[in-house]
Each structure stands twice: as structure tokens, then as C-alpha cells.
Amino acid sequence: MSDKCKKVYITTPIYYVNDVPHIGHAYTTIIADTLARYSRLVGHIDDVFFLTGTDEHGQKIEQAAKARGKSPQEYADEISGRFKELWDEFEISYDKFIRTTDEDHMRGVQKAFEVMYNNGDIYKDVYRGHYCVSCETFFPETQLIDNEFCPECGRSTTMVEEESYFFRLSKYQDKLLEWYENNPECILPKSKRNEVINFVKNGLEDLSITRTSFDWGVKLPESINDPKHVMYVWLDALMNYVTALGYGNDEKLMDFWPAKVHLIGKDILRFHAIYWPAFLMSLGLELPKHIAAHGWWTRNGEKMSKSKGNVVNPKEISDAYGLENFRYFMLREVPFGQDGDFSQKALIDRINSDLGNDLGNLLNRIIGMSGKYFDFNVKSDGVKTYHSTELEEVESILSNIEEYLYEIQTNRYLEELWKTLRIANKAIDTGMPWAKMKEGKEDEAMATIALVANILAKVAVLLHPFMPKTTQKIASAIGFEINTESYNKIIKNNELLGDFKIEKIPPLFPRIEEQQLLETSTQKSETVKEEKKVKMEENKKQNENESGANLITIDQFFQTQLKVGTVVEAEEVPKSKKLLKLQVDLGEEKPRQIIAGIKEWYSPEDLKGTQVCVVANLKPAKLMGMLSEGMLLAAKDDDGLCLIRPEKSRKPGSSIG
């Protein structure tokens, strides 16, 4: 390993129970599982601890449970159970599945609060800050646009006041910068480290870490004697990484700390790379070795959203194409840290090309030739004589391959591994065992077959953490078992297999000729359907109660001017995650500028040249300092947002009504 600590502690984030597992959850968990399996393979069987679990507290969970007529605990039990069930079906090799509703976790969180409070790092005050209703988020004034507008959606914020306990985050600004400087691999990929450093250099404000506006959370320790407060969900959640090891309880597993790798999505990097190490400094605990942030997955080039019906259900993909094929694709397709695109075509190409042609066909050729020429009995004693060059090339490639894995460059790891398969295939094409047999050069033919079998053995061992069942089949066909002993012999010491017997097995990767799932499948979860049902019931009751109170007259309706417009230009708004700036032709002298909060669902390329419906007589307003001269009509529900568009193209400026 890149650092030589004996204990290997690997974590996923704990997944928030506001939805069922999707492809992003599966991606993170499969990476962590691969790292854990590799660590056990290389000899750390009793010194690996792999943690995953669910984050179950907070106002949104409380509200979601109430909407379903359930207690927060019942709702959390249901969704958490779905995560655990999927990971068990996927044979994820976790050592502990933690829940933030576990009693020992909550005790550990309370212990941490007490320690930080006694250290003078927590104090009570009144939170005065800007609140964005749309984003349901507080923002310090330093993050606002023009001292007023939300940095996420561009809408005006509201000043609020609330009693809160604060963590002295500002106290740790210089210590954090020193940590980043002295540990260049503490944040992976390294480009993300620069983003965090720049954010911290701009100044850190103390962090509000309790709430009084809801009750579903961890209460403060009894020693504080302030029962109306519950802890901020991120303080509660982040502490899982040490409470899972017994912090604040028996602490019997704390020798696994610090974590070797925290795997997370890029959207929660700030919490893990700023808040978490600051909390640890306050507690006097060591900091993690690596915080690794991966990108998001799109589908066929589009951002996934429930409204588009393009969310990838990992269980459906696994059932259709095979779990281990799915694992290989996820870990091979995209460089870690970058956004990746999922399509069935890309998955099929990987299965047919990488797995079928390069790996599976190579094994089939060896099985066929060994059976035809040598009755499946293979000897390696001539490999070094006839193929020393190929052996040296393979050993050179594999000598540093581990570095890619612990830097979470799984795609590079697999790329390097596949180079050895190309060497093996080339050795057959140039060595031509069939020709050697005709020439009476049986030793040379045997040496080529043995070379390729030994390369396949090396590949099977190093691919094992990625595809454990498939590689055991390959190992069985070649006549050995994959374990720490064979790793040491075949990989670490570069020994050859010796005399062995090849076993004939069915093809591992039958060719896939067509997509196994319809692209039109919405793949929506049962939870989403349930949410819609609850929402419909709520709306029905609301309409019954209002009894016409919100009805308007026909004259009032016609005061609104609705027109068809053509989007002639579209671009992203800098520093905003939600806004797009559009130029819309409404049949007037010049296009109108409209600032629309639709970036989460549409890209500029999706909109150029398309038609939209516009509220044309809306009073102009400024968003992030830019004039917006209208509003787009859209439908929005729990599944997201979609624009209202004319069924057929109409002349810009055409009236709607």
C-alpha cells in the first residue's frame, strides 16, 4: 500500500433515507467493497473494517414520515431496510451497517458534543442569517450574491433569528490549511483539494450545530441541560465514522482509526473536508488518510431526474446484465472524480469487448488448445525459455498497479490489467501453437499456452476484488484458488503455476446482441409512487377544505398574458447551480432575457431552438443582479420539473388561452 498502516478502515457515506438506492449509491458502495476485498486479499483479512449505513435524522425525514402517517422511526426503518437489503443482494462485504438511530451511535454523538463543549469549541448564541425558502438552507452573508440573493438559485433570501449552539469552525481555519498543505493526497482527486483550499482561504464562519424548530434528532447530552435543542444533522451524521468503532461507548475497535478512505459524492465534499476534520481536531483524534469524492452519473448524456423517468435502478440493471458485469462497467467506464454517463449501449460494449473478446475469448482459446494438443495438461517449465520478454512486460505493468487502486483510480487499474491481456493475445497470434504443433515443436506450443494461462491467473487474482465470482470460475478452469496465498505466490513473488490441469467451462460472457431493458422504462421506485399517492390525497383534502376560496374570475385570468416563445440563446449563470440565462424570441423587436431556475433539469443545449410558454406581462425582476423579463411555465411535483411546451411549433409571440 501507498502508506504502510496495518489496519485498513474504509467507509461509504451514510445514505440519507429520503429515497431508495439509486446508481450513485451503488457506485460508491461498489468502489468501497472493491477496496475492502482487495485489502483482505493482500493479507489484511483480520485488519479490514468496511462501514456503510444510513442517515436517518432531520426535519425532512420528520416531514416525510408525517405525510405518510408514520412515525419518523417507522419511516426510517422502512427505507434503511431497502438499502441493507440491496447491499446484501449485491453481496457487499461490509463489516457493519450503521444507522444514526442506533442507541450506541447517539450516545457517541452526545459524548463528542460534550467533549467539544468542554474544550470551549461550542458556545450558545442566536443565529442571525439569511434563509432561502426555495433551497431550505441558511447562508452566511459572505456567500450571498449582492448581499441579498441566494448563491444556489438566485432568489431573494429572508433574514431569520433562532437560538443555536455554534461550533468554533473559524478557530480551525489555519490548522485546516496546514493539513491540506502537508497532506497532498488527503483529498482525492487532487483537483478537488484546490477547490476546498480556496473555499477555506476565503474565511470560515462559526457553524450553527443545533436546531429548535424540529424534534427528530439527537438530543444534547444531559450535562448541557437544554432539551429543546437537537443536533444539526451533519454533526450527527459525520460522527458515524467513529461511533461505528465504539467512540463514546466501549471503543474496542478504535484502533482502526484513522480511516484509510472516506468515499463520498462530490456534493458533500465540503462537509467531509472542512467540518469533519475540524470536529476531529477538536476531539483530539487523528485525521483520515484520504477523502475521495466521485462525480455524478448521467444517463445517455442527460442529468438523471425522476421527472424524465431516466433514473437508473441498479437492481434492474444487475438483474438484466449480471451483477459482476455491472460492477466492472461502473469501475472501468469513468475516471474517478469525473461525471460518468450510463447507457445500455456503453454497458453492452464493455461486456462484449472488454469481458467477452479480451478476457473470455482468451480463456476459451487456452481451454480449446490445451484440450486439443495436450489433453488439458499444462506445464510451465518452458515459459521462461521461450517467453521471458512477455513475462518481463507483464511483471513491469503489474509492479505498480496497486497505487492506482488506493488513489481510487479504478479505471486506470483496470486499463493496466487489460494491457497484460493484450500481451497474452498477441503471444498466441505470433507464437501460433497450432503451427508449432505441425512443425513438431511441442515444447514451444506448450510454452505459449502456459504463458497465457499464467497471465490469466495473474489477471484473475488482481480482478478478483472487482468480479469475485467470475474470477473464481477462471481460477477453477486454470486449476488454482484465489486467496492470500496465491496472491503472494503469483503476484508478489511472480512465481509460475507449475504443472496444472485445465478444466473446460462454459463461456463466461455470452455475447449480448440487444438491449435488455426498454429505454422508455421510468424505473421509478415504490417510494416515489407512494409519495405521489400521499400528495394527491393532501391536494384533494386541501381543495375540499378551501371550497372555492382561491377561485378567480375569467377577467382575472385574461389579465395574464401567456405567449409562445422560441429560445434563441441559452447559457449557464456563473456561480449558480440552478439558474440558466435565456434569450427568448416572443415576436418582439428583440428577444427577452429570462432567468430561469431550471438548470437541474435542463442544459443550455437542451433548450436552444426549442419553444416554451412564457408569462409575458410579469413585472421584471432581478435575479443575481440580472434582469429577468418573464417567467417560463412549468409543471413541478415530487419527481422534479418539466417545461410546458406547445404540442406543435407556433409563431413566436402567439397567444396562449
Q: Which residues are annotated as a binding site for Zn(2+)?
A: 132, 135, 150, 153
For the annotated binding site, the residues are 132, 135, 150, 153
For residue 479, the surrounding DSSP H or E stretch is none
Cα 535–chain centre separation:
29
**CA end-to-end span of the chain:** 68
Q: Residue 437 in 3-state DSSP?
A: helix
The Cα 588–Cα 582 span in angstroms is: 15
Cα torsion 595, 599, 604, 605: sign: negative
> Do the bridges between strand 15-16 and strand 96-99 make them parallel or antiparallel, or are there none, so unpaired?
unpaired
Q: If we measure between CA atoms, which residue out of 335, 421, 397, 468 comes closest to residue 38?
A: 468
d(CA 294, CA 333): 13
Contact 573, 154 (CB under 8 A): yes
Which one-letter DSSP state was computed for residue 219?
B
Please, are residues 330 and 317 in contact by the beta-carbon 8 Å criterion? no
- Please report how the helices 323-333 and 314-321 are oriented relative to each other, as an axis angle in degrees rounded to 10: 110
Residues 122 and 166: beta-carbon distance below 8 Å: yes
Distances (CA, A) of 654 to 268, 565, 635: 45, 8, 21
Residue 419 corresponds to which cell in the numbers above?
494491457
In this structure, which long-range contacts are made by residues 596-600, counting pairs with CB atoms below 8 Å and at least 24 apart in sequence? 596/628, 596/631, 596/632, 597/134, 597/153, 597/154, 597/155, 598/632, 598/634, 598/641, 598/643, 599/572, 599/573, 600/303, 600/305, 600/640, 600/641
